[in-house]
Amino acid sequence: MIASGNLGMLCSSTADDSKTAIIDLSRESAVQYYTYGALRQRIENHARGIARHGLDRGSRIAILAANSADFLAAYFGIMCAGMVAVPVNYRLPPATIAYILRDCGAALVMTDAARRGMCPDGVPVVPLDTDMPDPPIPAGDGIAASVADNDPAVIIYTSGSTGRPKGVVLSHSAYLWTIRLRTQAAQYATERFLVAAPLYHMNALNTVKLALAGHATLVLMPRFSAADYVQAIFNYQCTWLTAIPTMIAMIDRQLVADLPGALTSVRTVRLGSEPLTQRILDHAHGLFPAARISNGYGTTEIGSVVFGTHPDSLPTPELSLGYPHPAVSIRLANGANLDADEGVLQVKSPAMMEGYLGLPEQTAAATTEDGYYITRDVMRRDHHGFYYFVGRSDDMFVCGGENIYPGDVERLLLTHPDVLQACVVPLPDPLKGFKPVALVVKHSGADLNEQQLKQYALAHGPAYQHPRSVHFVEHLPISGTEKIDRKASMALAAQLSSAPSAHQVR
């Protein structure tokens, strides 16, 4: 039950205070357990502590820290106090971190000890595990600030793949609409969620809110590692996972032969934040034989409720994202055609962002006149109305007059039994303009060479799509959000191909 319009009060006092809310694995010395009562107390204490700083309502407070219960208590406490939480990717370069803090106008930075040195001069710093009033605040004393529906609650900075990171402004009502919709559709109180993705990313933040609003138990890892992730599933009998396909590939590559047994406690696996392939889906089924595995979709700007089940109860095809959710408006745009069967996805829902912070022109460019967000994701719709991801419109490149989506080539390469992962990038070509070049991770022990894979691509797909060069690597570059880093992959491919530097091949 959600008792307030303030997102910071997501852990309602009507919940069972004695139930375990968070199992925190962030401290090497000991696992920390927090009940719902203790978590709410810490949130309210943070809210009171923040209020003592005398900040104006709506001030931005950044969090620069790894995953922990301390992070979540501060995160919800900031919003409870009527301020705006700004989780910051601590894996970014120092100059980019400093830019984000300036751009959002951070009045405070809350940080853990390991990242204290990353905070630039000029912004007050508060340790996450202090600033707690003494004595504690009695529960339910009205500490939560009143907020209007469209008041900003959170600013999430995008990865900056097209330039400097942009701050996506999300309101209390946008988040709460999503949470209410999902908690009304299913019961989560018996679930044990496992979160290893970073809390500065939308995937992890959405899952945390769903778990706490649904009165589940959240097992929180400080970061992802394949071995620790699998061990956490065993140790705490986790039932509900949210993961990025790259994480599944890393588990399969590193651990599948050493698993102590089937991961049968897992009942739900929601994959997202990255295109899903049949190869990864097959690996997931093998790792979690008792689980229902779904292909999730969402963006920071529109949230996680976009697709759902078919109104005629047709089963969702495995690689489909689903059928449009009835509470969301969706259309595909192919030029002026707004009812195409393939085109750029446009979405309108109550979960949409308020805009990009301080960037009215970019906000206007990302939205249509009638209020749809332009995702830049190219989708295909089948005759039953199910949607499938094709590729990013800004990843598409032209080779000899033919449009190539890297995802199409990657899906083809991944049908080869010896290929575990693939990333295709464009590099300059004097005749074709650009040419597809592939970085490939082979299955352990696989005997596969470049010419064999190129011939396989020619035999199973359009000739213009086949990679002109294939480079086998031990692992693909991974971003701070555990996804394949296409910009770093392009730089690596350029280096391996003795091509110009990455900034020359964009």
pLDDT band, very low/low/confident/very high, at 138 (cuts 50, 70, 90): very low
β-bridge mates for residue 472, sequence order: 440
> Pick the residue with more confidence: 370 or 463?
370
Q: Could you tell me what percent of the chain has a pLDDT over 90?
A: 44
> Pick the residue with more confidence: 238 or 50?
238
In order of their start, the domains of the chain are 7-223 (3.40.50.12780), 326-391 (2.30.38.10), 397-504 (3.30.300.30)
Question: Nearest Cα to 201, choosing from 489, 487, 479?
Answer: 479
User: How do 108-111 and 125-127 pair as beta strands?
Assistant: parallel
CA 352 from centre of chain? 16
Residue whose structure tokens are 């990302």: 366
> What are the structure tokens assigned to 98, written together?
């400093």
Question: Average of pLDDT values for 148-171?
Answer: 84
Is 171 in contact with 149 (CB distance < 8 Å)?
A: yes
pLDDT at 363 > cutoff 90: yes
> Pick the residue with more confidence: 137 or 416?
416
User: How do 433-442 and 469-472 pair as beta strands?
Assistant: parallel
Q: Would you state the pLDDT for residue 13?
A: 65
pLDDT band, very low/low/confident/very high, at 277 (cuts 50, 70, 90): confident
pTM: 0.82
pLDDT band, very low/low/confident/very high, at 205 (cuts 50, 70, 90): very high
pLDDT at 148 > cutoff 90: no
Question: Nearest Cα to 490, choosing from 419, 451, 436?
Answer: 436
Amino acid at position 137, single letter: I
> Pick the residue with more confidence: 113 or 144?
113
**What is the chain's length?**
506
> What are the structure tokens assigned to 220, written together?
């929180």
Phi, psi of 35 (to 5 degrees): -80, 170
pLDDT band, very low/low/confident/very high, at 216 (cuts 50, 70, 90): very high
Element (H, E) at 397: strand 397-399
Question: Nearest Cα to 229, choosing from 277, 263, 189, 196?
Answer: 196
The CA distance from 307 to 236, in Å, is 30
Task: Encode pLDDT of 404-415 as tens digits.
Answer: 888 888 888 888
pLDDT at 480 > cutoff 70: no
Task: Encode pLDDT of 72-100 as tens digits.
Answer: 999 999 999 999 999 999 988 888 899 99
Cβ partners under 8 Å of residue 403, min gap 6: 396, 397
> What are the structure tokens assigned to 99, written together?
């830019």
Cβ partners under 8 Å of residue 282, min gap 6: none
pLDDT band, very low/low/confident/very high, at 142 (cuts 50, 70, 90): low
Q: How many CB atoms lie within 10 A of CB 19?
A: 13
Question: Average of pLDDT values for 224-248?
Answer: 89
Average per-residue pLDDT for the chain? 86
